[in-house]
Structure 1
Amino acid sequence: MELAGTPQDPGPDLSELLGHVARGDQEAFARVYECVAGPVLGLVRSILRDPAQSEEVAQEVLVEVWRCAARYQQDRGSAMSWVMTLAHRRAVDRVRSAQASSDREQRAALLDRTPAYDEVTEQVEARLEREQVRRCMRGLTEVQHQSMTLAYYRGLTYREVAELLSLPLGTVKTRLRDGLIRLRDCLGVNA
């Protein structure tokens, strides 16, 4: 089929050309490209304002016309309206994508400037907790204090504590349990 028109025979219209493009006709696509490239770029540029991005989006629209020409339905509007709708949607999508990216970068920048925690407050709270534990440890009996220190500060096992203090294992376990109960009550921890 010859697509080149003459002044007497203008050739197929854009709708017919899209039908040929849908069947993979590259010559028909070249004609469609000639008809729509200028208006597509103009519309996209009016939305994006950035010439480089406008050219990129216009190219994406024309590739989409090539790939999706079969989706054009003549009874739903003119071929030029269909192409311009594709262009408008793609340009708006680019604007939204750029805005979302900018918003993410701003949130990330705010998170970078926000300290994860207040170091001074953390240090003061830790110091107060250590002092409260020391005060409560002073309230234990000497044997409880020795057992707790060996087991929890030096990391000895109950058996090692029993051997070091020359006490039966059961006695050490009882003293540790009683010491933990007294610490819990002193620190105000709920069981």
Structure 2
Amino acid sequence: MREKLRRVPTGGQATEGAEPDADQLLQAVARGDEAAFERLYDQVIGPVFGLIRRVVRDPAQSEEVAQEVMVELWRTATRYSPERGSAMTWVMTLAHRRAVDRVRSAQSAADRETRVSISEASRPFDEVAELVTMKLEHEQVRRCLGTLTDLQRESITLAYYGGRTYREVGELLDTPLGTIKTRLRDGLIRLRDCLGVTR
């Protein structure tokens, strides 16, 4: 798997001879030895990637996290203390922390998206769409009222928009109740037809 990972740039060359262990290499890296870092990289990248892959699962993200661990290893090598454990344990602890951080970060992002989706879905209606629909309906009613005769429009406006009874409308217009009922009935039929309302 390490062939897939980009090598962290180093400028030094490895020295000939027996391969030093991770503890020795990490101490040399702490002193700024780039050749030691290159050798340490080769020793630890396989186990680091394997651990991260088990935690993160996603191969591409695992590679990213492995690279982050190696960069962190180069930057923080001076913090390594042999008295507190082996270099490999220290490196794997860094890797595990980074992997867990990535999983937590991904989970937090997913949780935020879920909360946003739930809050949007829980709204009873889309306020903007509702306002637009109401405005269109009002315009349509206004247009259809314009198709009525003046007497029908006046009777309907007084009864339905003014909240008056048929008798009150008749008294206001000085018109018999039967005539008011006929005007209202005929006007409502025309409105219904204009608005496309089915029975």
2:52 aligns to what?
44
Q: Which amino acid aligns with 2:15?
A: A
> Alignment partner of 2:117: what SS?
helix
Letter in 1 for 2:70: L
Q: Any unmatched runs of 5+ in structure 1?
A: 121-191
Matching of residues 49-64 of structure 1 within 5 Å: 49-64=57-72
Q: Deviations over 1:79-122 (max 9, x none)?
A: 000000100110011111111110000001111123278979xx
Q: Report Cα offsets for 1:132-166 as digits up to 9, x if no partner.
A: xxxxxxxxxxxxxxxxxxxxxxxxxxxxxxxxxxx
How far has the Cα of 1:69 moved from its partner? 0.3
Report the Cα offset of residue 22 of structure 1.
Answer: 1.2
2:113 is aligned with 1:108: no
| 1:90 alignment partner in structure 2 | 98
Q: Determine what percentage of the aligned residue pairs are the same residue.
A: 59
Partner of 1:23: 31
* Aligned-pair CA distance for 1:13: 2.1
How far did 1:4 drift?
3.0
Q: CA deviation at 1:19?
A: 1.4
Q: CA deviation at 1:75?
A: 0.4
Whole-angstrom CA distance in 2 between matches of 1:62 and 1:49: 19
Report the Cα distance in structure 1 between the residues aligned to 2:27 and 2:102, rounded to whole angstroms. Answer: 28
1:37-64 deviations in Å (ceiling 9; x for gaps): 1110111111111110000000000000
* Shift in CA distance, 19/114, structure 1 to aligned 2, threshold 3 Å: same
Distance (whole Å) between structure 1 residues aligned to residue 67 and residue 74 of structure 2: 11
Aligned equivalents of 1:118, 1:32: Cα separation in 2: 58
Change (3 A) 1:61 1:118: closer
Determine if contact 1:3/1:11 at 8 Å carries over to the other structure.
Answer: no
Mapped to 2, the partners of 1:84 and 1:64 lie a distance apart of 12
Tell me what 2:41 maps to. Answer: 33
The residue identity in structure 2 corresponding to 1:39 is: P
Q: 2:83 aligns with which of 75, 78, 82?
A: 75
Instruction: Judge conservation of contact 2:29–2:36 (CA < 8 Å) in 1.
Output: yes
Give the residue type in structure 2 aligned to 1:85. T
Contact 1:20–1:28 (CA under 8 A) maintained in structure 2? yes
CA distance in 1, matches of 2:79, 2:16: 25
Residue matched to 1:184: none
Q: CA RMSD in A?
A: 2.4
Q: Which runs of 4+ in 1 moved over 6 A?
A: 116-120
**Given that residues 19 and 70 in structure 1 are in contact (C-alpha distance below 8 angstroms), is that contact kept between their aligned partners in structure 2?**
yes
Question: Which runs of 5 or more structure 2 residues have no equivalent in the other structure?
Answer: 1-12, 131-199
